[in-house]
Amino acid sequence: MIALLVAQNTFREVVRDRVLMGLVIGGLVLLAVTRIASPLAMGEGLRLTVDLGLSSISWLGLLVVLTVGTALVSKEIDRRTIFNLLSRPLPRPFYLLGKWLGLTLALATVAAILGAALWLVVTLLGHANYAGSIAEAVLLATLELAVINSLAVMFSALSTPLLSALYTLGFFLGGQWCGDLRRFASHCPAELKIMLESAANVLPNLPLFNMRTLASAGELTSWTHLGLAGAYAALYCACVLSLAAAAFESRDFK
Amino acid sequence: MQEPTAVTPQNPGRQPLADGRSIAGRSGPGTDPAISIRGLSKRYRHPWTQKVTRGLEPLTLDVHRGEVFGYLGPNGAGKTTTLKILTGLLKPTGGTAMILGEPIERVSSRARIGFLPEQPYFYDSLNGVEYLEFVARLSGMGAHEATRAGRAWLAKVGLGERERQVLRKYSKGMLQRLGLAAAMVHEPQLLILDEPMSGLDPFGRRDVRDLILEQRQRGTTVLFSSHILPDVEALCDRVAILLEGRLERVATVGDLIEGTAPVVEVQVEGARVFEIPARLAAVVERADTGGSTALRLREPDRLQDLLAWLLSERIAVHGVTPVRPSLEQLFMAAAEHSAFQAQNERRPA
């Protein structure tokens, strides 16, 4: 319950931040640009609109995580607003959970707005049957952002905003290629293989959350995929936030 | 701020609350101390050089329920370190502490305390009511109760007309008032205030003094640090003097002052050239201020001798006043004594 109070406050703070509003507007502009550029897509205008529309959710969301998420806790420490919270009966793990939850809800709201705008454009083009695939893709993109956000919150609790942004970006890029890393590891000597496979296991498996290609063809994914992706995101976020909480618990606030 | 209290430092009456509730059990002699500190210490280790810095030497101290306790010391003495350990922001290196009977390691020990950090900062995008409602709910109040209390406290600290103004538009003094309201909005039994008068103009300082006195009247224990010693002298039942991380002294303000040697000040006609005779020079100190001259006599037994000499020299005496040293003078003397001792300890035998 107390984590929900922190989440509510974080959500309110992030939503009132002009950066978030700017990104929503940027996403809508990008969507409009895809429509203008669609005649150049040689009959693949719809596919281009859906693909770029869904990509904008992921990339703009990542931008929010890198600009807002990586400073979420460190900014509170630097500005000492955290003194007013942790001197109350608020356990530190719940504080971190609340910060993560608040920003994740804000990201989900942005994803929902951009997803709804994309669905509206596609429906106006006479393809209302894309609703299911767009909804699934937006859900998976939100799960992906929740995973990246958990890393940002962890790094933010332990490091400066700049370093947190670099670490988070590193994990994001590594996570995009973790499948390639596994394949590469299978061709390496035993010691290196163990190291690379361990790294691939630590990195988030982000391709699991990417169904843009399916959605741009108007196809649905399986319930098993959605269930697995949801369970994986929940487990990964829980592990990362637990690690963050363990390190944050002993931290001094001078 | 509204409704200033009529209670004075000289008459700190423990009266029932305005709404008729009793404050029995919140204060009074014979109960557990509000704060009990045993050997509490803090050392900082630099993460790269591993160099250890002393923040607080083992500290043992009790703050009784219902009293206003002043925590004094120069910058870097360990005041803020102690307050942050008590509020869970710093982890102690050694020792234990209990707040209202609960060890400070328990998060629940913070439910009944209100804390004002030094130069408090807040969320820019929230308004006053939203912020107070948020922190009141964190301290365990229900949603409606928190909103009601937030509005009431905002009005109480003189910010009632700025309920909907975002905090980025508040002045420094207004933020300090908001911080005080945040510390008190959930009606805590123990208030821990770090430099509450910092950044306030004389009117703001008076309002804070009134608030602290009002809290004392309600039976709330108040522990506060300050550099503004006249405020401490006016408000505190007891004070602790901390120097270089070590507790130097704990006493009532009265004991501190009465335990010192008395001084007699003789006011004479000003700016006249005269030479104090050798027999009195060692115990008399001359101070010229504007149009008057004061002779401070450190040994009152020699007053007859001094007056006889002044009469013989035809120097007009305007007044004779026994003077008690201010808390500021006592504090400075303690600091100098500590520095002298530290120098002696460092000197090789």
DSSP lists the bridge partners of residue B59 as B40
Whole-number pLDDT of residue B135 = 94
Q: Tell me the C-alpha distance between A25 and A27, whole Å.
A: 5
Q: Tokens for A166?
A: 């670099």
Mean pLDDT over residues A73-93, rounded? 91
> Measured between alpha carbons, how far is B105 from B110 in angstroms, rounded to an integer?
10
User: Does B68 or B289 have the greater pLDDT score?
Assistant: B68
Q: Tell me the mean pLDDT in the region A208-218.
A: 86
Under the banding of pLDDT at 50, 70 and 90, the label for residue B5 is very low
The pLDDT value given to residue B276: 83
- Distance from the Cα of A154 to chain B's closest Cα (Å) equals 19
Q: Are B115 and A85 inside 8 Å of each other by CB? A: no
pLDDT reported for residue B22: 35
pLDDT, one tens digit per residue, over B10-52 is 333 333 333 333 333 344 444 689 999 999 999 988 878 888 8
What stretches of B156-262 adopt beta strand conformation (E)?
190-194, 221-225, 238-243, 246-252
Mind telling me how many Å the CA of B140 is from chain A's nearest CA? 8
CA nearest A75 in B: which residue? B123
Residue A33 lies in a domain: yes
Query: A252 and chain B: CB distance < 8 Å anywhere?
Result: yes
Pick from A203, A209, A141, A144: nearest CA to A170: A203
Residues B274, B315: contact at Cβ < 8 Å?
yes
Closest CA–CA distance from residue B138 to any residue of chain A (Å)? 7
- Sign of the CA dihedral with A98 first, then A102, A103, and A104 last: positive
Candidates 3.40.50.300, 3.40.50.1000, 3.30.70.20, 3.30.2320.50; CATH matching B35-252: 3.40.50.300
For residue B137, pLDDT over 70 is answered with: yes
Give the residue with greater pLDDT, B324 vs A177. A177
C-beta separation of B248 from B79 below 8 A: no
Sort strands B238-243 and B246-252 into parallel, antiparallel or unpaired: antiparallel
- Alpha carbon A57 to chain centroid distance? 9
- Asked if residue B77 has pLDDT above 70, the reply is yes
Q: Which residues, in sequence order, are bridge partners of residue B238?
A: B69, B252
Highest mean pLDDT among A97-101, B283-287, B292-296: A97-101
d(CA B129, CA B147): 7
pLDDT tens readout for residues A114-160: 999 999 988 888 888 888 999 999 999 999 999 999 999 999 988 88
DSSP string, B105-154: TSGGGGTTEEEE-SS----TTSBHHHHHHHHHHHTT--HHHHHHHHHHHH
Of the candidates B72, B63, B188, B196, the one whose C-alpha atom is nearest the C-alpha of residue B138 is: B188
Given this model, what pLDDT does residue B344 score?
A: 67
- Is residue B132's pLDDT more than 50? yes
pLDDT > 90 in chain B, percent: 31
Instruction: Between B271 and B273, name the one with better pLDDT.
Output: B273
Indicate the pLDDT class of residue B86, thresholds 50, 70 and 90: very high
Per-residue confidence (pLDDT) for residue B277, from 0 to 100: 84
Which tokens is B123 given? 């969320």
User: Does residue A254 belong to any structural domain of this protein?
Assistant: no
Shortest CA gap A206–chain B (Å): 33
Q: What pLDDT does residue A216 have?
A: 83
Is pLDDT of B183 > 50? yes
Chain B residues close to A17, C-beta within 8 Å: 125
Q: How many domains does chain A have?
A: 1
Which of A84, A91, A253 minimises the CB distance to B107? A91
- Determine whether B336 is exposed, middle or buried from the number of CB atoms within 10 Å of its CB (0-12, 13-18, 19+): exposed
| Residue in the structure block whose two tokens are 């859906």 | A50
Give the domain range for residue A16: 2-249
Mean pLDDT of chain A: 89
- The helix-helix angle for A2-16 and B128-138 (nearest 10°) equals 160
DSSP 3-state of A226 = helix
Residue A73 and residue A100: Cα distance in Å, rounded?
Answer: 10
Q: What is the pLDDT of residues B245-258, one digit of tens each?
A: 888 888 887 777 66
Radius of gyration of chain B (CA): 24
- At residue B347, the pLDDT reads 57
- Write down the pLDDT at residue B98: 93
Q: Is B126 close to A12, i.e. CB distance below 8 A?
A: yes
- Separation in Å, CA of A94 to nearest CA in chain B: 11
pLDDT at position B319, please? 85
- Chain B CB contacts of A78 below 8 Å: none
Q: Would you state the pLDDT for residue B9?
A: 35
Other beta carbons within 10 angstroms of residue B45's beta carbon come to 10
Q: Which of A15-24, A167-176, B193-202, B338-347 has the lowest mean pLDDT?
A: B338-347
Alpha helix ranges (H) inside B259-326: 278-281, 303-312
DSSP state of B77: S
What are the domain boundaries of chain B?
A: 35-252, 261-323
Residue B341: the pLDDT is 66
**pLDDT tens digits along A214-225:** 888 888 888 999
Q: What is the DSSP string of A92-132?
A: HHHHHHHHHHHHHHHHHHHHHHHHHHHHHHHHHTT-GGGHH
Sign of the Cα torsion B228, B231, B232, B233 reads positive
Higher-pLDDT residue of B310 and B332 is B310
What per-residue confidence (pLDDT) applies to B97?
94
**CA triple A151-A155-A161, angle to 5 deg:** 120
CB < 8 Å to B130, chain A? 12
Residue entry with tokens 């607080």: B56
Residue A250 sits at the chain B interface (C-beta within 8 Å) = yes
Query: What pLDDT, on a 0 to 100 scale, did the predictor assign at position B326?
Result: 66
Using the Cβ of A12 and the Cβ atoms of chain B, whether some distance falls under 8 Å is answered with yes
Model pTM?
A: 0.81
**pLDDT-based confidence at B261, cuts 50/70/90?**
low
- Is residue B83's pLDDT more than 90? yes
Percentage of chain A modeled with pLDDT above 70: 99
Contact flag A85-B135 (C-beta cutoff 8 Å): yes
Q: Quick check: A2 and B90 CB within 8 A?
A: no
Which residues of chain A does B105 touch, with a Cβ-Cβ cutoff of 8 Å? none
Q: Confirm or reject contact between A91 and chain B (CB < 8 A).
A: yes
Q: How far is CA A164 from CA A70, A76, B255, in A?
A: 5, 14, 54
In terms of CA atoms, which chain B residue is nearest residue A92? Answer: B107
Give domain status of residue A243, yes or no: yes
Separation CA B110–CA B87 (nearest Å): 7
- State yes or no: pLDDT of B115 exceeds 50: yes
Note the pLDDT of residue B14.
Answer: 35
Give B288's strand partners. Answer: B293
**How much is the ipTM here?**
0.84
Using pLDDT thresholds of 50, 70 and 90, give the confidence band for residue B201.
Answer: confident
CB contact under 8 A, B90 and A86: no
Q: What are phi and psi of B99, to 5 degrees?
A: -120, 120
Per-residue pLDDT at B150: 94
